Each structure stands twice: as C-alpha cells, then as structure tokens.
Amino acid sequence: MSTEWKWKRLVEASYFTIAVIIISFVARYGVNVLLANHLKAEAYGDYAAMINVVFFAGTVLLLGSDEAALRFIPEYVYKRDWARVSGYIKHHLKLILLISVVVVTVMFLIATVLYLLSRVGVGTFFDYHPILFAIWFAPMFALIVFQAKLLRSLHKVAWSLLTFKILPFLLMAFGIFLFTSKGSILTMYQALMVYGTGLFVVVITQFILLLAALPYEVDFSQAEYQKRKWFAVSTAIMFASLIFAGVTTVDLLLLELLGPNEAQVGILAAVLTISSGVLTMPLALNAVIAQRVRVLVRRQNHVYLQKYANICNYIIVPPIILVAIAIIVYGKALLGHFGQAFVAGYDVLIFVILILGILSMLTAFGRPLLQYSGRHRQLVYANVVALIVMVVVDIVTMPFYGIYGAVLSMILSRLIVAVWVLWASRKLLHIRAFLLI
C-alpha cells in the first residue's frame, strides 16, 4: 500500500469518526434537553451525577481490559495469532461477568435490606438516593464499552462508534417519548428504566455484531492465554482511565454536596453536555490511530511518527475550532432549550469551551501516543496529580463560589494533564505531540 493511500485512509477514517461524534453530540444533546424539560433542574442534576457514577463504576469493572484490547488484539490479528485473540476475549468476558455478578449480588442485598427497613417503618424504599438503583447498570455499561473496543480492535470502527455513540441516545429518546407522549410526567425512576433498557438492547446488538466480526479461524483455535502480561498492562491503563473518568464525576458529586445551590449541578451538567461537542472531538483520533502508533513506536521510526502526529493534528484542529465557535455563538440558545434557568450558565460555558477546548487540542495526539506506546504510566501520574489538585480546589472554593469553583478546578486539572502529556511525549518519545510544542 502506497504512503499516499495510507494518508488518504487516515483522513477518511478520521473525518468519518468526527462526523459520528458530531451526530452523537446532537443525539446526546437532544436526549438531555428532553430530560431537563421533563425533570426539574435539581432532579436533572441528580440524574446527570448518577449517570457519571455509572460511567465511573463501569470503568472500575473493566479493569482496563477495554483499552488493553486496543493494544493486544490488533497485534494478534496482524500476526494471525487467533489462539490468543480467542484467549483474550474469553478470559476478559468471563472476568467482567464474574465481577458483574459480585456487584449485582451486593446491590441486591443492599436493596433487600433497605426494603425490609421500609417495611418496619424505617424510611420509605424510594426515599433513598436513586444512585443506589442506578449503580445496577454499571455491569451493562462495562460490557458495552468492552464490546465496542473489541469491534474497534477488529477494524469495525463504524460498528463500534454507531452502537456506542449513537444507538444508546436514540433508544433513550424513543423511551422518553413513550412515557411522555400522552402528557404524563417523567419521573426519575422512569428515566432510569429507559436508560437501563437502552443499555440492554445495545449489549445484545453489539454481541451479535461481534460474532459477525470475528474471523472464522477464532472459532477453531484452541485459546491461549497471557494472563500475567494482560493483567499487568490492563491494570496500569485502568488507573489512567479510572482517574480520567472520575474527574467529571467527582466535580458533579462535590458540587452537589458542597455547592450553595443544587440547581447549579443541573446547570453544570448541561454545560458539560454542550461542551462535549468539543471536548470529545479528540476521540476521533483515538479511534483510528491506536493500532498504528504501537507499530511505529516499536520500529523507532521517529521521523514517520512525527509526520503522523502532525497530520493527525491538522485533521483534528479545524473541526474543534469550528464546533467551538458554533457553540459560543449559539450557546445561550443551546442552554435555553434545557430551560430558562440554565441560561445562567452561559459564562461558564464560554470558559469551558475556550480553555478546555484549547487543552483538548493540545493533547489530542499526545494521550493516545503515550497510552499505546507503553508509556501509559505517565498518564497515571498526570491524572493522579490533577485529581488531587481538583479535589483540593473544589473543597476550598465550592462552598463560596459553587459552579465557578468547579470550573476552576476542572481547568487546573486539565492544564496539569496537558502540560504533563506534552512534556512526556517530547522527553520520552522525542515527539512533538502538538505541532511545534
């Protein structure tokens, strides 16, 4: 395959992924607008915090196996080592299912105790925070993420993105429409029911696609395992993913606990939903470069890898800038669709888009470069320091400044990660992760 054809394939794959992420943003925005309009601002904030807790718990259940799949499976497929492909998938599916059974059992016991207490007059069952019921969805979310990464590692990027980034929101929108079509009021528990049902449908859909994507040689191969090697890499990656996933969750939860006004949690959730159109754009690169980075680093082809990094940045920067400008221009209207009370978050949205958007551009190539080149420990160190700084700033500022303290801590934590990623890429891999920096 010629070099020009490789670059053409990279550009096509990247812009296809960008298009899917933009469609996903629109779908996610629409679903959150529906929820915000059918739930009060305080209830919408609680719902957003709960879903972030589900994301965080799902990341814990995965133990880094999803990201490790992007590192090992493409290598095994390239070598036609179908026995290890089979071994990796079987081992980690069993592991995820085993941990999920433990989690579900524990949550069932907790729910049983709460129900029995309500029967003897100690509180009402549904008075407990809905997060106790939402956490049940973490195993399904973990399975969805794992299967999506498996599809991507098998070069089924379109199937992975469509089932992970778009299908859940379409199912949510359909479920909300069913509950509210006759003028009924949407309750928190109905919203959770819609969310959980959507997750179940996505799990089944992905499983069918995964069976279709696996080469037939896998079915006839005796599974081989490298459990010690897989565990070492996946757990190291897990800490970086866990802390990165926990940043938004911790910010929302601390704002709910320490903030002067619970409505600010809903406003921050709306701001983060809108800003995700910019902040998740770098995932377009992550989805298509993982396999190639590993090969180039192993060959120590720094010249080609630097060219690869530059082209990836040229691809991702223009869409980020265009989407950021559109959100800034129409930000008030986008917030207004959530409800008039949410428009108060427009100044927060400007800060998030301008500063975090720039930091996202700076690390668009650097994060996957470190993760898939074997330097993932640098991401762990950066995210640990960032999380500590964020929690300290939140505790100090939130009781007085509320949502502005949350944004300040978020900006400082992302700044630490950006500086660390750029430094580690230049120092350890001799690559300028963002053009001249």
- Per-block average pLDDT, block size 10, for the chain (437 residues)? 56 75 86 83 73 79 81 81 88 86 78 71 58 78 90 84 90 88 76 89 93 84 82 71 65 76 79 80 66 65 75 81 87 86 85 81 78 76 85 88 86 87 83 70
Query: Would 436 be classed as within a structural domain?
Result: no
Q: What pLDDT sits at residue 294?
A: 64
Number of domains in the chain: 1
Residues 325-343 as b or e (16 or more Cβ within 10 Å = b): eebbeebeebbebbbebbb
CA distance 140 to 370: 29
267, 261, 154, 161: which is closest to 211 by C-alpha? Answer: 154
242, 277, 298, 269: which is closest to 71 by C-alpha? Answer: 298
Query: Would 437 be classed as within a structural domain?
Result: no
Tokens of 303: 């010249």
Burial label, 78 (beta-carbon count in 10 A; 0-12, 13-18, 19+) = exposed
Burial label, 224 (beta-carbon count in 10 A; 0-12, 13-18, 19+) = middle
CA distance 330 to 338: 13
Q: What pLDDT sits at residue 122?
A: 58
Query: Would 152 be classed as within a structural domain?
Result: yes
Helices (H) then strands (E): counts for the chain: 19, 0
Q: What pLDDT sits at residue 163?
A: 92
Query: Would 435 be classed as within a structural domain?
Result: no
CA distance 319 to 282: 10
Query: Would 375 be classed as within a structural domain?
Result: yes
pLDDT tens per residue across span 47-96:
777 787 788 788 778 878 887 887 788 778 878 888 888 888 888 888 88
Domain containing 257 equals 3-428
Query: Would 434 be classed as within a structural domain?
Result: no
CA distance 126 to 190: 13
Burial label, 112 (beta-carbon count in 10 A; 0-12, 13-18, 19+) = exposed
- Residue 34 has a CB neighbour count (10 Å cut-off) of 20
Within its chain, how far is the Cα of 301 from the centroid? 31
Q: Using the structure block, give the residue that is written with the tokens 């996933």.
A: 245
Query: Would 24 be classed as within a structural domain?
Result: yes
